[in-house]
Chains A and B, each alone.
Chain A
């Protein structure tokens, strides 16, 4: 075969694959982002919107009790230092994961609660997904309801956002899928009977009807990872926090919905 023809063919193929890659790897434009709340049935929307029908509010009440309960060797409650959560915690969950100076890396809200329990209250940390951790983190995050998610413009966070982005685009598991292939490239289409959401973590911790319980963002991420038959990271792994940070940065400016309800 003519060598020049082969070269032209290879160049053409490269151009096509580059165009396909560009078309698939595009991030969702900021003005086209939407919460998966929009995809819910009117009944489920009503459940989230009505504080006497939203089952997550039961956990918020438990969280309020924990906020005011004395704990650990210090004999102090959260409220003893932080005061009224309605003012001191307003907007806090909207800017987590945040950079921790001692650890030199971002920590999520759950880790921040346990750091404060161990260092300030001298109390045992809560286990991941324990009723106490879910209740307290939901109570704190509910104080940010309606607040816009932070811009995450702290330069120290930048490398961790990039790590999270790399995980988001990394194909993994037996199905060899990346997060981006569903949530950037195919949102709005159907996966079995469900609409693929854009994956914005606006309402966490969420009450998921399928779980019949409240769950953290990390639980939800594990859910997707087992769905693509990848091995999930252990709870609290830095990879999750990087991914949480990337997802929150990706949802920057969107309003917080905690306590969210999802089917």
Chain B
């Protein structure tokens, strides 16, 4: 099954208001240090980076490491400047790539 994402962006905000953005993605975040029942190492499979852009401009990015738990949940704040689209992109090992987006109306 494909990765599931849940993003929470307030649909409406006042200009200049500080808004909270919350993102959640399903991912096992296999850290590469574990072994299976037969003692064989389980290869690393994690999300390595996350970028959030607001009308094309990057407003938040993060580099993720093996210590981040499964199904990473990231919360951050930004200033509502104009109406438009907020895009989210997660990139990881083995060609993992997942996108999501949300609309915001600024009055």
Contact = CB atoms under 8 A, between A and B. Distances in A.
Contacts, number: 40
Interface in A105-135: 131, 135
Interface stretch (B50-58, B68-76, B88-96): B68-76
B26 interface: yes
Contact of A58 (B4, B8, B22, B69): B4
B1 A52 contact: no
Interface residues of A, number: 16
Interface in B34-52: none
A53 interface: yes
Interface in A50-101: 50-53, 55, 57-59, 61-62, 65
Interface in B1-20: 1, 4, 6-8
Contacts of B4: 58, 61-62
A213 interface: yes
A212 interface: yes
A133 to B, nearest CB: 13
Contacts of B25: 58
Contacts of A212: 29, 69-71
Contacts of B1: 62, 65, 131, 135
Contacts of B70: 55, 212-213
A53 B73 CA distance: 7
A45 B102 CA distance: 26
Interface residues of B, number: 14
Interface string A224-255: 00000000000000000000000000000000
Contacts of B7: 52
B79 interface: no
B59 interface: no
A219 B70 CA distance: 18
B71 A57 contact: no
A213 B69 CA distance: 10
A51 B22 CA distance: 11
A249 B22 CA distance: 38
A66 to B, nearest CB: 9
A259 to B, nearest CB: 12
A131 B71 CA distance: 14
B24 interface: yes
B71 A58 contact: yes
Interface string B58-92: 00000000000111010000000000000000000
A52 B24 contact: yes
Given A52-B6, A52-B7, A52-B8, A58 B26 contact: yes
A50 B22 CA distance: 11
Contacts of A52: 6-8, 22, 24
Interface of B: 1, 4, 6-8, 22, 24-26, 29, 69-71, 73
Given A50-B22, A52-B7, 9 more contacts: A52-B8, A53-B24, A55-B70, A55-B71, A55-B73, A57-B6, A58-B4, A62-B4, A213-B70
Interface of A: 50-53, 55, 57-59, 61-62, 65, 131, 135, 209, 212-213
18 contacts: A50-B8, A50-B22, A51-B6, A52-B8, A53-B22, A53-B24, A55-B26, A55-B70, A55-B71, A55-B73, A57-B6, A58-B4, A58-B71, A62-B1, A65-B1, A131-B1, A212-B29, A212-B70
The 4 closest A-B pairs by CB, nearest first: A52-B8, A212-B70, A58-B26, A55-B71
